[in-house]
Structure 1
Amino acid sequence: MSTTMPNDNLPNYQTDNGANHETIAALRRSIIAASPKLAHDDIHQQTWLLGTTGCHLCDVAESLMNQLAAVQPINYHYIDISDFNEPLMMHFATTIPVVLTPTQRLNYPFSVLDLQQLLV
């Protein structure tokens, strides 16, 4: 199921875990455009954990990422959605935490096993 954003400058994003690679790439470009501090080269290939301060589920998701990192090397970057423009922030406001790889999206709830399967 696709959800159209209220801003015409943003692509049409899928909100389920079946988003295609092209949609993920467009989403990642929009996030980088909305948060210029992400515009450095090494961030493009990293896994991103999207969340925000005060979100207990985001804390749980970060803990799961750290549990996985303790047994398997992973490289991820935590991104706070409060740094985004309003339309993009509102897109994620009810779905965080979200894990974005360069080609896949994983919405919460997820487990360490889900993360391991996603990131291997």
Structure 2
Amino acid sequence: MHRTYRNARERACDCRCPIHHGRPRSIYNNPDCHCLATCASQPMTLLAPEINGAVFLDAANALWYVPSLEPGNWDWRYATCVDMGHPQFPASTLIVDFLRETHRGLLPLLYRL
């Protein structure tokens, strides 16, 4: 069986979120969202307990931060794009480069599944 790669914007939510389940996800700060960090629609994500949350690249490759409520649950109401003035902004270039490099490195593995 051959799988074709689809980016996060094209994948449907598979985590039973009442807002996105079975549909592609385009908004990351919906207050009713219950998506997990491992949802199929969730882009490349770095879990970061040191900053009490996670950072991820959205479908447009912008870096976002989402705070953690408890292990495995995220406060999507307060998800925000990491830009000038955000506490993680000084490290954002390193994080974005890391996530992009990791994504590129993992792509060849998708075709082996």
**Pairwise TM-score range, normalised by the shorter structure:** under 0.3
Kindly indicate which of the two structures has a greater share of residues assigned to helix: 1
TM superposition score normalised by structure 2 = 0.27
Question: Higher relative contact order at CA 8 Å, sep ≥6: structure 1 or structure 2?
Answer: 1
